[in-house]
Amino acid sequence: MTADKKTDESVDSLDADIKQIIDDVFSTSGQKISTDDPIVAVLLYIKKQQVTMYRQGLKEHEDAFFLNLDQRLVKINQNYEAMEKQKDLIVSELMGKNQRMIKEGVQEELQKQKPNHETAFFVVLGILIFTQFLLIILTVFK
């Protein structure tokens, strides 16, 4: 049943092609030809060859396009990998620099706070000495 359908479709397509050829010959040259004219067979053959060549050219064009696309994809992947390596390098450099800056910042803060600790120590020591002096005076004059 499907084979009959395909045969019917190909016969209909062939009839349509023959009618189109006859109309094209008449519109171009003004000559009326019939369906059994040998030139119709030649023109039908030429049309089939043109369709075949067109499909082959289209296939070659598609193949070249996809090959070019594949080559570009490879380049894109290579560039992506290079950028990922560059990103990793930049991140590691920034992390190292950040750690160095944190260490330097901590050391600077410790240096700033060191005199404050020394000053606080001497103030507290002075208060203790003064308090002991007052205790000694109070015990002596008591």
- Alpha carbons within 13 angstroms on the beta-carbon side of residue 141 total 6
pTM for this entry:
0.47
Amino acid 6: pLDDT:
63
Q: If you search the block for the tokens 């049943």, which residue do you land on?
A: 1
Q: State residue 106's pLDDT score.
A: 84
pLDDT, mean of residues 93-102? 90
Q: Which long-range contacts (CB under 8 A, 24 or more apart) does 105-113 make?
A: none
Per-residue pLDDT tens digits for 33-69: 888 889 888 988 998 999 999 999 999 999 999 999 9
* Section 15-30 average pLDDT: 89
**Phi-psi label, residue 30: left if phi above 0, alpha if psi -120 to 50, beta otherwise:** left
Give me the pLDDT at residue 12, please: 81
Question: 33 near 22, Cβ under 8 Å?
Answer: yes
Written as six digits, the tokens of 4 are 């009959």
Helices (H) and strands (E) in the chain, counts: 2, 0
Q: Please report which confidence band the pLDDT of residue 7 belongs to, taking 50, 70 and 90 as the band edges.
A: confident
What is the token pair recorded at 89?
């390098």
